[in-house]
Amino acid sequence: MLRLGYPATIAAEWLRDLPAGIELVPVSDKMDHDVEIDVWIPDPYAARAMRAWPRLRGVKLVLSMLAGTEWIPGTVGPHVTICNARGAHNISTAEWTLTAILAMLKYLPLYLDIQASGLWKRRFEASAHYARITADPRPMHPDVMQEELTGKTVLLVGYGAIGQEIERMLAPFHVQMLRVARTARATPPVHPVAELDRLLPQAEIVVLILPANPQSIGLIGRRQLALMRQGALLVNAARGPVVDTDALVQALQSGRIRAALDVTDPEPLPAGHPLWSCPNLIITPHIGGSTPQFTPRSLRVAADELRRYMNGEPLRNVVQAAVDRNP
């Protein structure tokens, strides 16, 4: 019988969608003995999963509950097949992205501060905020109290399943969409990464939703931030190292751009780090995929892969194919 290791922190009721004919083995980072399993669903918290790994024997397939699998290959090695949870977090991450965009354009950080102060007249600070971030000093009547998303140009950097879901959610706002991915496509038009610098000045909103790999680390550096138009909004729902943190801090402190981050570099972001106090910035602590639907959706993806594995069918979400130990 196939033995499946799963996080001991997951309630048994969430495992009901897994196929019959398997033996379920709870895995914890506090185990004091080795366990033999064929397939491993790691704890979504990488630190706990890595502490558990030395106790596991016989693992041939890893089914991640996350879309990102950066830590897994270096932990399990090349002789294990790795699949991610592609598709499981499309909705939650896309909703976070849309929320972050609207929060920044509607000046919610300012209005929350005004609410805490209890001073209604402070609402006129919004007009000065608009003038500073856009470098548009023209007098407005009535005063500008927020901005609109409708009609803006959005550059999606990364056009996988989550990027496509973000585009679907943005569609009612009639935005102008620019798309960048590793590989160019004709329909819909997707530009190669080599054209990123050319496209950045055209966008009012830049959304990063691409995996962290040697090609994407540092993709958004000083030159790219300088190419963004005055007052543009950078939204990072990808991975922190995709953006040069020092360059981002400088761009925010200078008032050139604004940003919304669910991920940072370093992460966790330490107390006292300059990012915490940057102007024109929202930070959430890597919670974009964390909703009550996280576990059931992830395990449904894992269950589908497991059925395929048991039936000898091709797996859908392979990010690393196992290298034969004895070629």
How far apart, in whole angstroms, are the C-alpha atoms of residue 98 and residue 289? Answer: 13
Residue 129 appears among annotated catalytic residues: no
Helix (H, G, I), strand (E, B) or coil at 175: coil
Instruction: Tokens for 313, please give them.
Output: 């069918």
The contacts of residue 191 (CB under 8 Å, 6+ apart) are: 178, 179, 180, 181, 184, 199
End-to-end CA distance of the chain: 26
Residue 36 appears among annotated catalytic residues: no
How far apart, in whole angstroms, are the C-alpha atoms of residue 191 and residue 199? Answer: 9
DSSP string, 292-319: TTHHHHHHHHHHHHHHHHHHTPPPS-EE
Catalytic residue of the set 174, 267, 313, 316: 267
How far apart, in whole angstroms, are the C-alpha atoms of residue 21 and residue 27? Answer: 19
Catalytic residue of the set 179, 239, 256, 297: 239
How far apart, in whole angstroms, are the C-alpha atoms of residue 238 and residue 221? Answer: 15
Q: Quick one: which H or E segment has residue 289?
A: none
How far apart, in whole angstroms, are the C-alpha atoms of residue 31 and residue 35? Answer: 9
Residue 250: name the closest of 280, 293, 283 by CA. 280
How far apart, in whole angstroms, are the C-alpha atoms of residue 265 and residue 90? Answer: 23
How far apart, in whole angstroms, are the C-alpha atoms of residue 261 and residue 208? Answer: 10
Instruction: Tokens for 140, please give them.
Output: 């407005």
- Kindly report the backbone phi and psi dihedral angles of residue 281, in degrees, each rounded to the nearest multiple of 5, phi listed first: -145, 135
Residue 125 appears among annotated catalytic residues: no
User: 49's torsion region: left (phi>0), alpha (psi -120 to 50) or beta?
Assistant: alpha
Catalytic residue positions?
Answer: 239, 267, 286
